[in-house]
Amino acid sequence: MRCINKILVICVCCSLVLSGCGSLSYSSPYLIHSDTSSMNLLSTQGDKKADSFASGLCVIDTTDLLGDGSLDLTTSEGAAVFSLSTEEVLYAKNAHERLYPASITKIMTALVAIENGSMDQTLTATDNVKVTENGAQLLGLRTGDSMTLYQALRILLLYSANDVANLIAENIGGSIDGFVAMMNDRAVSLGATNTHFMNPHGLTDEEHYTTPYDLYLIFNQCIKYEAFNEIISTLTYETTYPDKNGIMNEVKVTNSNGFLRGKYNVPIGVTVIGGKTGTTSAAGHCLIVYAKDGSGNPYIAVVLKSETTDSLYDDMSDVLGLIVGS
């Protein structure tokens, strides 16, 4: 009987070592009030947190409004601002609510492409890159057109061309569906378990959603890459790319970020480095930005589902204003 007990103790200890917090996956959504979400399960294991998820990250343990109550973002459905240097959440509204991200989706498209492709890699368009949705932003790619990933990422993030998103996806992932699977896998690996992608561009699909907090997790990874930061901070980009007959097409795009274009002002003491916009009828007007205060401390801010472009930038300015007072 004693031998059996010793064996059981050894087995239990081994299982605990092999299944420590650092090796747990975050496969279920982190719904705060759910007893079965990965985040809640981890937070109830004594006083321990999963280092692989929470270490070096801002963590929101409530869906309630944070801040001093001075902000009234009634025109936007979700918003948050995160200090990357202090790992503090300065403000959050519906940070864990599932919302449509529209073209902010393309930050994940860029991340997966950067991590799995090379900048000089040539991408060639097939019929699959075509997007037929009325009003969708397009470069106008045709079968046989080609460009490097370097070119495609700039057009993707500045001009938000949906056909270029498909071009990247098919060439990097082998197929658009294969690339979307890579996007979803990468989201889970970052802890963004309340996110699900159905396409690489962000056009509306009921099963295509994310949260303000998940976008922070994804964007926080994106800005670790110099190429990404250089692109999102660029105002304009000009290039040429060949069609199937070698005839060159000229293209010039301008960053869709209203702060960089000077159309909207940021609070004094705040510098917007760059970001990504997104707009559809279902998602409303959306924006995520990478910003710094006067001392160079970095922040990520996101506003989702605002009613108009003006209200989007007004709300983002109010959120960024918290940086100065932090």
Active site residues: 103, 106, 160
Q: Residue 313 has which token pair?
A: 């930038």
- The closest of 175, 26, 50, 189 to 111, measured between CA atoms, is 189
Residue 35 main-chain phi, psi, to 5 deg? -80, -5
Amino acid at 49: K
CA distances from 238 to 63, 164, 251 (A): 43, 15, 6
Per the listing, tokens 């009003």 go with: 135
Q: 3-state SS of 5-59?
A: HHHHHHHHHHHHHHCCHHHCCCCCCCCCCCCCCHHHHHHCCCCCCCHHHHCCCCC
What's the farthest any 2 CA atoms get from each other in the chain?
83
